[in-house]
Amino acid sequence: MEKRVHNFNPGPATLPLPVLKEIKENFLNFRGSGMSIVEISHRSTLFEEVINDAVDRTRRLLGLDDNYHVVFIQGSASLQFCMIPMNLALPGSPVNYINTGTWSTKAIKEAQIQGKDVKVIATSEDKNFSYIPYDYKVDNQASYLHFTSNNTIKGTQWHQFPDGQGVPLISDMSSDFMSRPFDVKPFGLIYAGAQKNIGPSGIAMVIIRDDMLKRTPDNLPTMLKYTTFIDNKSLVNTPPTFAIYVIDLVLKWLEETTGGLKEMERINKEKASLIYEVIDNSEIYQGTTEVKSRSMMNLTFRVGDEELEGRFLVEAVENGLIGLKGHRSVGGCRASLYNAVTMESVKSLVKFMREFEEKL
């Protein structure tokens, strides 16, 4: 097998090597069918077993009660920005948002386009989204409170989720989904684009509570109703079957090989702490977020001036460290440490960062 690089891409991102090997081994003949997973019918018993297993594993990993539904919807997280207000905003009731960066801003815009009564109850825009705002007042008449749990571009993360004070929480968890255990009960809906932490791009996993479904207006287009996907078990049309298959394998790896979310959180904290230790004890590396708001998933930093930073990124690639360039909207550097990023990769990055500084 050819040597693999250390992949710190922010999404599509690295997948567990055992998952990739299993895909390779079974790609031409899935479970003795004589067909590839990308050739079998989404209505077949074989695929039903795959999607049902993915749902069951999600339920076990998150401890979901029967009043939560797990569905797969194309369009990744971005489609959810408009589906949520369409389906869940109650007539005459405001919708509350907390703005912590690019993706929150996009979600807010989609609700505003629909003419919803959008109230941004907190924002960290005053400091370029470099922190998580904990000073806010929830409108108890709000339909929901929406927030982004981890901010991929800005490198901040909610370490304690907002208190909705009885208002249903809705969260875009695309970039830290399944990275740690949490209490699901306050959430009316959770959504996550798969391409960062649980699978390939192009699909979102959506978890929605029973009571939220009663809000869906009858006059919505069929494919924009959550009830459509729930009533048809995500099979109203042909879903991206390969993506769902990979998600199932990643969840299996997370549950059976890693040992669940508590163990995954321990590993993720250790990985992040190794890199933050280098940044905090350096003369050239500077973190871009407030310490108490730092993300475990997306670690953002600068390296001296632009010339030095350019050298750092070039030499990183030469050393097999891929995907460290920051988002085009902010520049800088970013190491994305999703679940599948190995401790070996993190230690290789730490070694490179230290040696790069020592050479100066």
CATH number at residue 189: 3.40.640.10
Helix (H) or strand (E) holding 357: helix 343-358
Q: Are residues 272 and 227 in the same domain?
A: no
> What interhelical angle do 76-88 and 102-113 show, nearest 10?
40
CATH number of the CATH domain containing 268 = 3.90.1150.10
| In a domain? residue 164 | yes
Q: Are residues 221 and 96 in the same domain?
A: yes
Q: Are residues 251 and 265 in the same domain?
A: no
Q: What is the CB neighbour count within 10 angstroms for residue 243?
A: 19
Query: What confidence score (pLDDT) does residue 133 get?
Result: 98
Q: Which residues pair with 336 in a beta bridge?
A: 298
Final residue of a structural domain among 205, 228, 258: 258
> What interhelical angle do 343-358 and 261-280 show, nearest 10?
0
- Which of 116, 154, 158, 172 is an active site residue? 172
Q: Are residues 233 and 264 in the same domain?
A: no
Q: How distant is the alpha carbon of residue 90 from its chain centre?
A: 27
Boundaries of domain holding 298:
260-358
Which residues lie below 8 Å from residue 232, measured CB to CB, with a gap of 6+?
Answer: none
Q: For the full predicted model, state whether its pTM sits above 0.95.
A: yes
Structure tokens of 178? 């399944």
- The answer to whether residues 152 and 174 touch, using CB atoms and an 8 Å cutoff, is yes
Note if 158 is an active site residue: no
Final residue of a structural domain among 233, 258, 283: 258
| In a domain? residue 208 | yes
Structure tokens of 29? 């003949």
Query: What confidence score (pLDDT) does residue 3 get?
Result: 84
Residues 96-136 have pLDDT tens digits of 999 999 999 999 999 999 999 999 999 999 999 999 999 99
Per-residue CA distances from 66 to 210, 254, 260 (Å): 9, 22, 20
Query: What confidence score (pLDDT) does residue 50 get?
Result: 98
Number of domains, the chain: 2
Final residue of a structural domain among 202, 231, 258: 258
| In a domain? residue 3 | no
Angstrom distance (rounded) from CA 75 to CA 125: 27
Residues 204-231 have pLDDT tens digits of 999 999 999 999 999 999 999 999 999 9
> What interhelical angle do 343-358 and 306-318 show, nearest 10?
130
Note if 65 is an active site residue: no
| In a domain? residue 126 | yes
Q: Are residues 121 and 246 in the same domain?
A: yes
- Which of 154, 196, 225, 325 is an active site residue? 196
| In a domain? residue 9 | no
Note if 172 is an active site residue: yes
Those residues of the chain that have pLDDT short of 50 are none
| In a domain? residue 13 | no
Per-residue CA distances from 22 to 14, 15, 69 (Å): 15, 12, 28
Query: The sheet that has 333-336: what strands, in order across it?
Result: 285-287, 298-303, 333-336
Q: Are residues 225 and 299 in the same domain?
A: no
Q: Are residues 39 and 184 in the same domain?
A: yes
Query: What confidence score (pLDDT) does residue 1 get?
Result: 53
Q: How distant is the alpha carbon of residue 261 from its chain centre?
A: 14
Pairing of strands 150-151, 156-157: antiparallel
